[in-house]
A and B are shown apart, each in its own frame.
Chain A
Amino acid sequence: MRKESLLNAALLVVLLAFPLWAWFVDEPFLITLTTRAIVFAIAGIGLNFALGFGGLVSLGHAAFFGLGGYVVGVLAFHAQTYTPLMEWPFAIGGTKSMPVTWLTAIVLSTVLAFAIGALSLRTTGVYFIMITLAFAQMLFYFTISWSTYGGEDGLSLYVRNGFPGLNTMDPIQFFAICYVILLIVLFIVFSISRSSFGLALGASRQNEERIQAVGQVPFRLYLTAFAISGAITGLAGALFADLNRFVSPTMFSWQTSGEIMVFVILGGVGRVFGPVAGAVLFILLEHTLGGLSEFWHIYLGAVLLGVVLFARGGLYGMIAGREVAHD
């Protein structure tokens, strides 16, 4: 446990110190790279909430990531073209304000996660994996064929959305926004995992019969966890759209779901900070191996295979032991 807290603190310090150093020596690319790691980390934290704490193996979290992205993209599209989003029953226009788009992304992702969860949680095991995958694929094909918003080509944001009082086009300022959001998300997830709901969820993952016997309803616990999980991943999707100033159906693709899962596994399933470590590791691998060969996915595959077969529990499992790793 001590080792784990040390690792947590080290991660947060490095994630703050590295971009500050990059800012100091004027390397904006490295700042953006760190911001990317942070956005991936938030997406992973979202999935980890369902996967690690609830034991719900969702292979469809790209649905929420993509939805978050498209909320930002579509709202900005209407703001850019000065067209209303809808006129009836009440008029809604587009917006380029970050807080508004984030809030919309969170609310819509929660609603979507409730809908997907309510249907998917009727099934278990492989069926659950497949049905979550199918929902994400459905949205993937839907966005591809939805020509109003760019279809296969996606949508571009000409200028990054605004945040009151900050210049978001400045990499270090946008990094600061994402870093603060990461801290808030970590704090919320940590608090929930210690709350009575979080404890009941963990107990339900380990033994459903017992948790039923003490009067809890596993379905409700899982559904709530799935909704929270979707909301966090949706927020990450919105940040990803802000970061790239571009959204495309790729955000909904099943490879995205797989990659979000990879962040969780590389770091360590079921630990609050696991996905942060995983996302940093992923970015490191992408950056170093990607420089070695354009076929770096082979090495990523090999590393992933090694982690799954031999180093269960991911980075956290290797360094901090397996005492709190998922059963």
Chain B
Amino acid sequence: MSLLLFIEQALNGLQFGVMLFLMAAGLTLVFGVMGLINLAHGSLYMVGAFAAAAVAAATGSFLLALVASFVCAAFAGVLIEFFVIRRLYDRDHLDQVLATFALILIFSEGTRWTFGSFPLFLDKPDWLSGTVMLPFGIEYSLYRLVIILVGLIVAASLFWMIARTRIGIRIRAGENDREMIGALGVNISLLYTFVFALGAALAGLAGALIGAIQSVQVGMGEPVLILAFVVIVIGGIGSIKGALIGAILVGLTDTLGRSLLPALFGLFLEPSSATSLGASLSSMSIYLLMIGVLLFRPKGLFGGV
């Protein structure tokens, strides 16, 4: 494998990781602040993608579509938080898993009902298609590069918000001692709704951005959701920094594994079995990574003690 191809694959891995971070950030915030495990996070990703596809089809504007994905997912987040999720904060994880599993069923079938079973198409706009020349003569897709940048900007603003703003202080305080900040006059239920909606909006945005390179269809959220879970488990649940590092680790492992492992096995196996062994091992690689991390650090890389 040539070095250029390797760098391109590494960039793809970074792009995948950055998108996973958008998903994982919401999950880890919601778990860290509210102690809630939310399986329906993948449905919010799907809602974002469908909202973007619908708006893009109606207006033809990709930017409007992105705004719509962000707003619609946030709105869906507020709705389910208000009607369902807030009843689950004091419940055990089993109830949370089941109730959010039920939400997935409702969201998926509801979307199928509204939009049909066929995938929708969301095209990237002309001004974002094509390739750019990076230093050292690397040709790379402009859209994927923009995704990486958008993801990094969102990550930076999230870090800034949590570290520097009043709302971030409240979120961190909520993680430490929710009763105390309630006693200090912070409207906890409003804070919870805000955190949930923020996570939902980020998931929706990720759905729209990815929807433009893959297809927009029912059930698109769950594979990503499970990867996002792997990310936050590796990073340590509740840690934004862990989510970022975990996401990039998972993104790189998955993408590079898929391209490198078959080539690696090809060195000492015949081509056909190298391809199949490489493919099966690389599809398991991130789970092996997670198991490895958990064996040495049962609370993840940046998990609390």
Contact = CB atoms under 8 A, between A and B. Distances in A.
Contacts of A126: 31, 37, 93, 233, 237
Q: Decide if the interface of chain A is mainly helix, strand, loop or mixed.
A: helix
A282 interface: no
B159 interface: no
B165 interface: no
A240 to B, nearest CB: 20
A126 B112 CA distance: 30
Given A126-B37, A131-B294, A135-B287, A142 B99 contact: no
Contacts of B106: 297-298, 301-302, 305
B97 A123 contact: no
Given A134-B291, A254-B222, A301 B109 contact: yes
A309 interface: yes
B102 A304 contact: yes
Given A122-B295, A130-B229, A309 B104 contact: no
B290 interface: yes
B93 A57 contact: yes
Contact of B101 (A119, A135, A262): A262
A320 B115 CA distance: 43
Contact of B298 (A122, A261, A300, A301): A122
B288 to A, nearest CB: 8
A53 to B, nearest CB: 13
A127 B237 CA distance: 8
A158 interface: no
Contacts of B109: 295-298, 301
A172 interface: no
- Most interface-central of B108, B110, B226, B300 (chain A CB within 10 A): B226
Contacts of B112: 295
B87 interface: yes
B230 interface: yes
A127 B233 contact: yes
B14 to A, nearest CB: 22
Given A297-B108, A298-B106, A131 B290 contact: yes
Interface in B35-91: 37, 84, 87
Contact of A119 (B102, B233, B279, B291): B291
A131 B291 contact: yes
Contact of B94 (A51, A138, A295): A51
Contact of B113 (A254, A262, A295): A295
Interface in A288-327: 295-298, 300-302, 304-305, 308-309, 312
Nearest to B282: A145
B253 to A, nearest CB: 13
Contacts of A141: 280, 283-284
B103 interface: yes
Contacts of B283: 141-142, 144-145
Contacts of A261: 97-98, 101
A309 B99 contact: yes
A301 B280 contact: no
B95 interface: yes
A130 B233 contact: yes
A138 B286 CA distance: 9
Given A119-B291, A134-B290, A57 B97 contact: yes
B209 to A, nearest CB: 24
Nearest to A124: B298
A119 B300 CA distance: 14
Contact of B284 (A123, A131, A138, A308): A138
B5 interface: no
B172 interface: no
B86 to A, nearest CB: 11
Given A130-B230, A301-B104, A309 B87 contact: yes
A137 interface: yes
Contacts of A146: 276, 280
Interface in B189-246: 222, 226, 229-230, 233, 237
Contact of A133 (B226, B237, B280): B226
A121 to B, nearest CB: 10
19 contacts: A59-B97, A122-B298, A125-B93, A130-B233, A131-B290, A134-B229, A138-B284, A138-B288, A141-B280, A144-B283, A258-B101, A261-B101, A262-B101, A297-B109, A301-B103, A304-B98, A304-B102, A305-B102, A309-B84
Interface of A: 51, 57, 59, 119, 122-123, 125-127, 129-131, 133-135, 137-138, 141-142, 144-147, 254, 258, 261-262, 265, 269, 295-298, 300-302, 304-305, 308-309, 312
